[in-house]
Structure 1
Amino acid sequence: MESYQNAIVDEMVKRERGKQIHQNNEIYSKVGILGIPNGVGRKKIIIDLIQRDAMKWSNGPFIFSSYENIYNQGIIFRKNNFQCSKRKVNLIVCHRYLLPSWVDHLKEHNVSYHLYKNHSRIENWASISVILLRHSLLQTFLERHFCRIAVQRIILYNPQYFLLKKFTFLLYGFAWIVLDNPKWILSSVQKHFCHNFVPVNIDYYIFRQLNITRPFNDAERPILHQKCLYKCQKEIFLILKDSISSELYDLLERGKIEEVLAAFGSQLHCRNIYKHILDDYQNKLDAIELKIMRYEELGLTQKILNFQEKRHSLVERMTSFKRRIMNFTLDNACVICNGQMKDVVLLHCCQNVLCGNCILKLVHLGQACPYCRKKLLNDSITMLDETIFSENPNPVVAPTMNPPLLSRQEQLLRILDSIGDESCLLYVPNRESIEMFMEDKGCANYRIFQGRYLEKKLMIESLKQSQFQYLFVMDHLELLGFKFPHLHNFISFIPLKMELENFFLHKFYGEHRESIIHIHLFHF
């Protein structure tokens, strides 16, 4: 890994000292993109670059710069030359969660630094090599200390986590943008702070030349992870994804059933979300029918055709919604008896369905919901409408030799049993999920990864010493600035996108990892 880091630093020094020549092209740039993944010592690479101090930066008090206005393909151009004061200092801008880890690295390498806080004063600039600050203070810092003053080097570390759009005019010797997915700069729709350094409409050929990416070989970074995918029983609320807005679906996924019902205008006379959706479809169809009748009286043929198309589309969506619910009961087994669902009952607490006989037994025994672990009451169940299944009242289910799929909760408990006494990091959506898991597991041997930097650091040390076994995280940003090269198991209870999956994966790689990390992921 050290040879890999030295090669990256050599390439960065080369970029800072001169132009790039590629085939017949000469590219002049004071901006570079370091597009290497997490877990390879990016902070160490940047610190080595600062300590080498090989950039062309004169010892004079002023910097001479210019900008050009080019017309008619370079036949006519105007060049404005000017000078301004400068300071030999490196500016590192990052997320506030990363500040403590940066401080530790700078102290470890004996680099003089100043951690900038709101309204803090800097008197002796000559003794400071690095200014470290969080992104939310950057605008104030530049206006106060670098108005018409140039900085030697500015480093934007993980700008994808910046909530920053405004920008004060800044002169700099060189700017580095450090992130693991450089194409994010081009894919960001809104105007972002980093677009003041690399514009969105930049030529892709030039963009590739600015980017430093160096693939690994097996000796530098061997593949030490094993991905385990688990196919689970589909939860019925996923059927709603195409029938309700994304905001309501997010509430439903977090277990906010009452808020979703309130959004439908529920007055507690009906607590069945599916009934509300069907009523909403029917109300829209009735409104369209009235408009068609009105336009027929007025003789507006084009309007009639338009609303007939809308009616046809709405009927198809309504039929598809009913069919998805019917197919769910045919394709999924009851999580209690593992048999085909009969007399389907809807649970108010989590909007899942079970066999009527099974759920009535749980109600009489006073047990909890097998999905969300809330207590089941007599008024917390609803029979699904028979009209939903009227399309095929006597379905013929083909016999299958495959074992019934488990729910995510059941699958998770099996994974935890297979892990045994090994430590594990779990990514879950909310605290209710943690309580449910630990109640089923029958232990309180866990911690939630949140709090201040020192608290998290002590938590990791306690995990290394096996003082507890399960470490839960609810927000992936809490992991910024931390590595887990000693862990061997990671479980995500939430289906992950590729970017987030890579984010977690790189958290387990480090200079000292030698054993395999098992990544357990769910999909439906």
Structure 2
Amino acid sequence: MNNIESPLFEQLRVINTVFENAIDEEPSDYPDLYRKALESLQNTHLLKTQLMPNQSRLIASMVVHRQRMRNGFVRNGQMMRGKIGILADPPGSGKSLAALTYLMPHVQTLLDPNTIQDNELDPHSNRYFFSHGVSNRRLDASCVDILIVPPHLIQQWTTELDTHTRLEYIVLDNRRTLRNKTTPSLITNSKLMIISTRMYKDVYDFCQDHQITWRHVIIDEAAAAHISPNDSLPSFEFMWLITSNWLGFLFKNVYINPHDLEYIRDRIPLNTDCEVWLDAMIKQDATISTPIEASNFIRNLIPWNHKERSALILRNSSENQIVYPSVESQTIDCAVHFTIGTIPQLFIKNNYEGMTHEHLPLIFKALSVQEYSIDRIKELFESRLSLIKEKEGDDCSICLESVQHKVMLPCCMNFFCGACIFKHLLSQIYAKCPTCRAELYFPSMMYIPTVTNQDASSNPVLNKHETCIDYILKHPLEQHIVYSPFENNYYQVYPRLQERGIQCELVENHIAKFNKTIANFHSGSTKVLFISTMEMIRGLNLTLAKHLIFFGKCFSYEVYNVLLHSVLRVGRKPDSPLKLVHLKSCLE
């Protein structure tokens, strides 16, 4: 029982261990290998682009990590070996180019250049008697490196290869290619094969039939790599998983609440980077969900309950990571936009959140509720003037407090708080007056605004659609990304922007249309890109965007970061700040 940790303590301990073991300086166990790896990156004819310091350190650490895993290493009394590593630097920090550089021959010559070692655990082993293969096979022309990526990222990876490297590669993104008789020779001649996640099983079976050996396997966006659970795990020398969601590979189906970790932070001497991370999560009020969205294929790779599973994570320390361009944040208040038909669902499902005295004038304005002055009411009901004067000073019959934002009901001349009577009206199918039980309808309410409410100069007059259009028209030559979880907002804004000559496109879950849309955005012909599906932009490079517009409140911490770092990443000019715009109504 003494070895059992509480779930919260385990979360904080494992997270802190990742930060403690971040790449900061040369490792003590393989210092010469680390230095040789860095030196090998200085001169290479296969690279067109100079590597950044954080990329060089990551590549050298990948070489050391593979050597550790192959030879075995000791940590906290545990002797460990394996054939997997996780590249977990922040999004947009250049992990793709680092992985490609790692595959280059001048880097691989540092690690037994003429052999390939399987290290496969014998399937008949158990916890009391176990063994694994140590035989080295000759590295010949039949050995290839495999890059497995989501279908929507194939185009981006080929662009990365053509722009920054001189590596030869072949793309297998459809089954028709596998029927070509020249495909086996093309695979072995190129040495690098790019396949989509949905082609994994077909390509692996094809390689087995043609005796093509998989050496290194790299899976991009591994946390969301949708590979069929029926597909068996392949044989390979080493596998690298690329992800920014490294927490998802440490905990299975867990919700991490930083506020809970705050209560036990004094029980562990935290690393400085871990303290900064925890404070940032608490400040953003983020709740992190860690279920791996991928299939059992990925789940079976991770030792979820191993105490030292954090040894799989490779990431730079905070001071060695890239510095993103600045972000200029702005919130624009918008008028409320709804009708009497949609307002019950809007408020009742949220337990009337937002239905407050402060918001009521804007709600009535959005619903075009007719306003009356008290003098006008006295003129209309001159025969009942004495009753009006008697009731005018009474408290609200619903909340029993002084009336705020007066609404008078002509059936009994009683005055109610606007928010109180409006909630009463929405909460009943056949509403009746709270005092005289006469039938109550929305048009029968007579709203009496105060003097301050009648001054509408400080209230927003444009709703979100109009505000979004107005903002884009102020920057017609610059590129924008607009996020809304509802595609309907695109169809509301699209026609009016097209009339002004501004090309807009929606990111759709169709690979051919998606590739064309992204190509148009990169070429500059598309000025506004609407996004509602997160999975289609995960890992995407959209650095040309100058403005990122959130069409309403972003409730997901993960969605916010995926969007932000699709724009803020390697390749963005340092002198090009991002303008982050939140469109907010009074009810949010």
The interval holding the TM-score normalised by the smaller chain is 0.5 to 0.7
Gaps of 5+ in 2: 1-50, 253-289, 374-425, 436-444
Q: 1:21 to 1:408 in 2, by over 3 A?
A: farther
Q: 1:339 to 1:490 in 2, by over 3 A?
A: farther
Deviation per residue, 1:308-344 (Å, 9 max, x gap): xxxxxxxxx9xx57996999756624238698799xx
Amino acid aligned to 1:99:
I
Amino acid aligned to 1:433:
N
Decide which of 287, 305, 318 is 1:202's aligned counterpart. Answer: 305
Q: 1:326 to 1:341 in 2, by over 3 A?
A: farther
Give the structure with the larger strand fraction: 1
Gaps of 5+ in 1: 245-316, 343-382
Cα distance, 1:132 vs. partner? 0.7
Cα distance, 1:468 vs. partner? 5.9
Aligned to 2:423: none
Q: Is the 8 A contact 2:152 2:515 kept in 1?
A: no
Q: Does 1:240 align with 2:345?
A: yes
Cα distance, 1:2 vs. partner? 0.6
Q: Return the alpha-carbon distance in structure 1 between the equivalents of residues 571 and 449 of structure 2.
A: 54
Q: Is the 8 A contact 1:438 1:444 kept in 2?
A: no
Cα distance, 1:420 vs. partner? 6.0
Decide which of 122, 138, 145 is 1:90's aligned counterpart. Answer: 145
Aligned counterparts, 1:447-458, within 5 A: 447-450=504-507, 451-452=512-513, 455-456=516-517, 458=519
Q: Return the alpha-carbon distance in structure 1 between the equivalents of residues 244 and 372 of structure 2.
A: 47
Decide which of 207, 210, 230 is 1:145's aligned counterpart. Answer: 207
Q: Does 1:7 align with 2:57?
A: yes
Q: Return the alpha-carbon distance in structure 2 between the equivalents of residues 495 and 459 of structure 1.
A: 28
Cα distance, 1:62 vs. partner? 7.6
Cα distance, 1:137 vs. partner? 0.9
Q: Does 1:334 align with 2:365?
A: yes
Aligned counterparts, 1:87-486, within 5 A: 87-108=142-163, 109-116=165-172, 117-119=174-176, 120=178, 121=180, 122-124=183-185, 125-146=187-208, 150-164=213-227, 165-185=229-249, 186=252, 187-188=290-291, 191-199=295-303, 201-203=304-306, 205-217=307-319, 220-230=322-332, 232=334, 237=342, 240=345, 332-335=363-366, 387-388=430-431, 390=433, 403-404=458-459, 407-416=463-472, 418-419=474-475, 421-428=477-484, 432-439=488-495, 443-450=500-507, 451-452=512-513, 455-456=516-517, 458-463=519-524, 469-479=527-537, 482-486=540-544
Cα distance, 1:104 vs. partner? 2.5
Cα distance, 1:18 vs. partner? 1.6
Secondary structure of the 1:167 match is coil
Secondary structure of the 2:167 match is coil
Amino acid aligned to 1:448:
E
Decide which of 553, 567, 570 is 1:508's aligned counterpart. Answer: 567
Q: 1:189 to 1:458 in 2, by over 3 A?
A: closer
Q: Is the 8 A contact 2:372 2:446 kept in 1?
A: no
Cα distance, 1:37 vs. partner? 2.8
Deviation per residue, 1:191-213 (Å, 9 max, x gap): 532112214x333x423221112
Q: Does 1:41 align with 2:94?
A: yes
Q: Is the 8 A contact 1:65 1:83 kept in 2?
A: no
Cα distance, 1:426 vs. partner? 2.0
Q: How many residues align?
A: 403
Q: Return the alpha-carbon distance in structure 2 between the equivalents of residues 9 and 107 of structure 1.
A: 20
Amino acid aligned to 2:197:
H
Q: Return the alpha-carbon distance in structure 1 between the equivalents of residues 245 and 115 of structure 2.
A: 37
Deviation per residue, 1:398-433 (Å, 9 max, x gap): 867994355322432443355465332223456653
Deviation per residue, 1:69-88 (Å, 9 max, x gap): 776xx6x3243658697852
Q: 1:334 to 1:182 in 2, by over 3 A?
A: same
Q: 1:215 to 1:516 in 2, by over 3 A?
A: farther
Q: Is the 8 A contact 1:97 1:480 kept in 2?
A: no
Amino acid aligned to 1:50:
L
Amino acid aligned to 2:301:
F
Secondary structure of the 1:7 match is helix
Deviation per residue, 1:322-375 (Å, 9 max, x gap): 996999756624238698799xxxxxxxxxxxxxxxxxxxxxxxxxxxxxxxxx
Q: 1:41 to 1:58 in 2, by over 3 A?
A: closer
Cα distance, 1:5 vs. partner? 0.7
Q: Return the alpha-carbon distance in structure 2 between the equivalents of residues 70 and 242 of structure 1.
A: 60
Q: Return the alpha-carbon distance in structure 1 between the equivalents of residues 239 and 578 of structure 2.
A: 35
Task: Point out the more displaced range, 325-334 or 152-161.
Answer: 325-334
Q: Is the 8 A contact 1:17 1:56 kept in 2?
A: yes
Q: 1:46 to 1:338 in 2, by over 3 A?
A: farther
Cα distance, 1:142 vs. partner? 1.6
Q: Is the 8 A contact 2:144 2:212 kept in 1?
A: no
Cα distance, 1:159 vs. partner? 2.6
Q: Is the 8 A contact 1:322 1:389 kept in 2?
A: no
What is the percent sequence identity of the aligned residues? 11
Q: Is the 8 A contact 2:327 2:580 kept in 1?
A: yes
Q: 1:324 to 1:54 in 2, by over 3 A?
A: farther
Aligned to 1:294: none
Q: 1:207 to 1:79 in 2, by over 3 A?
A: closer
Deviation per residue, 1:14-46 (Å, 9 max, x gap): 111124544544432211111123322222111
Q: Return the alpha-carbon distance in structure 2 between the equivalents of residues 233 and 17 of structure 1.
A: 60
Amino acid aligned to 1:36:
D
Deviation per residue, 1:75-131 (Å, 9 max, x gap): x32436586978521111011111122222333412121212314153225423211
Q: 1:241 to 1:15 in 2, by over 3 A?
A: farther
Amino acid aligned to 1:195:
R
Amino acid aligned to 1:194:
I
Cα distance, 1:157 vs. partner? 0.5
What TM-score does the superposition give when structure 1 sets the normalisation length?
Answer: 0.64
Cα distance, 1:143 vs. partner? 2.4
